[in-house]
C-alpha cells in the first residue's frame, strides 16, 4: 500500500482515536451526532439522495455539487455505509477539538468495518457530517 497524504491523515486519526478517551463537547452532543448519522443511514436505505445530502457539511456538499452525485459516490465508494447489515456506535471522541464518531458496521458479506465520521457544528448549532473514512476491521461479524 502506498502512503498518500490522505492515507497518512487517516492513519494518524486512527492512532489518535486509539489513545484518546471518550469525551463529549457538551451534554447531548453524542445523542445529536448519533441522530444525524442514523438519519443519513436511513436516507441511504430509502435512496433519498436529497435527505442524505442534507446531513453533509457545506464543504462536502460543495465537493459533490448535487445530491445525486453524492449518493452515487456513497453507493460505489462506501457500500457498507450505503447498505450496512449491522451498525454499532462507539463512544464519541474529541480529537484536537473535533468530534469524531466511530461506527462499527458489517456488510452483506460479513466483513466488519470501522466508519470514522468527522463531525462539524454549524452556525445554527446543528451537526453535519464533514467526512467519513472507512477501515476494514480484523474480525468478521457473526
User: Torsion-angle region of residue 131: left (phi > 0), alpha (psi -120 to 50) or beta?
Assistant: left
The 10s digit of each residue's pLDDT in 22-58 is: 444 565 899 999 999 999 999 999 999 999 999 999 9
* Predicted local confidence at residue 2, as pLDDT: 44
The pTM (predicted TM-score) of the whole model is: 0.80
* Predicted local confidence at residue 28, as pLDDT: 84
Confidence grade of residue 8 (pLDDT, cut at 50, 70, 90): very low
The 10s digit of each residue's pLDDT in 92-133 is: 999 999 999 999 999 999 999 999 999 999 999 999 999 999
Distances (CA, A) of 137 to 33, 35, 96: 23, 24, 24
Amino acid at each position: 500500500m502506498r502512503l498518500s497524504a490522505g492515507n497518512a491523515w487517516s492513519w494518524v486519526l486512527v492512532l489518535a482515536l486509539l489513545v484518546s478517551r471518550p469525551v463529549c463537547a457538551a451534554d447531548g452532543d453524542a445523542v445529536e451526532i448519533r441522530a444525524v448519522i442514523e438519519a443519513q443511514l436511513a436516507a441511504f436505505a430509502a435512496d433519498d439522495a436529497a435527505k442524505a445530502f442534507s446531513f453533509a457539511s457545506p464543504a462536502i456538499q460543495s465537493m459533490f455539487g448535487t445530491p445525486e452525485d453524492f449518493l452515487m459516490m456513497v453507493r460505489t465508494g462506501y457500500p457498507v455505509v450505503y447498505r450496512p447489515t449491522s451498525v454499532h456506535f462507539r463512544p464519541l471522541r474529541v480529537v484536537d477539538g473535533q468530534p469524531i464518531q466511530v461506527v462499527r458496521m458489517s456488510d452483506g458479506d460479513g466483513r466488519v468495518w470501522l466508519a470514522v465520521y468527522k463531525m462539524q457544528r454549524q452556525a445554527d448549532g446543528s451537526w453535519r457530517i464533514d467526512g467519513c473514512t472507512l477501515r476494514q476491521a480484523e474480525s468478521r461479524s457473526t
